[in-house]
Amino acid sequence: MPKKTKNIIYIILTIIIVITLAIYGYMTSEFSKIKKYDNNIRDDIKSKIAKQRHYSTEAKIINDGILHLGHFEINIANNKKLIANISIKYNIPKSIWKNSKAKKEMLKNGPVIRNIVIETILNKTSYEIISYRVKNKIINNINPYLTNTKIEAIYFNEFIVSD
C-alpha cells in the first residue's frame, strides 16, 4: 500500500476515534442532567426583578447595618454625568428594639438621604466625589436627620463617569 493511502487511513481512523470518544464522554457526563434554575420564572417577573436589583431608586436594607440607596444619575462638573450605585453603612444599636427603630428610621429617611447625597455630589468633579472629604461631608449632612443611629461609611458599588 502506498504511503499516502496509509496516512489518509490513519487520519480517518483518528477522526473516528476522537468522535467516538466525544460522543461517549457526552453520554456518560452530567451535562444532560443540568437544568436552568429559572425555567419556571416568567419573563415579566425576571425583568421586574432585574429592574429592582440594578435601577432601583428606593432605599432598601440589604444587610444589618447596610442601607442600599440604589441607582443614581447625577450631573457633575465639566458637563459630565455620574452613574453610581451607592450604599451606606450605619451604626447597629446593640439592643434589638433600638436596632428595629434604626432600620425603620433609615427606611423612612431614605428619600431624604438620597436627596442629601445628590445635593452634596452635584457639580463636584469625579476626583472630589471619591475623596474622603466629600464622603465625610455626605455623612455629616445625613447624621443630623437621624436620631437612632449614625452613618459610618459611604460605599460606591458602581461609579461610572460619562460625557
What pLDDT, on the 0 to 100 scale, is given for residue 39?
55
C-beta of residue 76 within 8 angstroms of C-beta of residue 161:
yes
Residue 65 has pLDDT above 80, yes or no: yes
132-142 vs 110-121: helix axis angle to the nearest 10? 140
Q: How far apart are CA 100 and CA 151, in angstroms?
A: 16
Global confidence as pTM: 0.64
Residues 93-147: pLDDT tens digits? 888 777 888 889 999 999 999 999 999 998 888 888 888 888 999 999 999 999 9
What pLDDT, on the 0 to 100 scale, is given for residue 6?
85
Residues 26-58: pLDDT tens digits? 777 776 566 555 555 566 665 665 555 556 678
What pLDDT, on the 0 to 100 scale, is given for residue 31?
63
Q: How far apart are CA 59 and CA 119, in angstroms?
A: 17
3-state per-residue secondary structure call for 136-148: HHHHHHHHHHCCC
3-state per-residue secondary structure call for the chain: CCHHHHHHHHHHHHHHHHHHHHHHHHHHCCHHHCCCCCCCCCHHHHHHHHHHHHCCCCCEEEECCEEEEEEEEEEECCCEEEEEEEEEEECCCCCHHHHHHHHHHHHHCHHHHHHHHHHHHCCCCHHHHCCHHHHHHHHHHHHHHCCCCCEEEEEEEEEEEEC
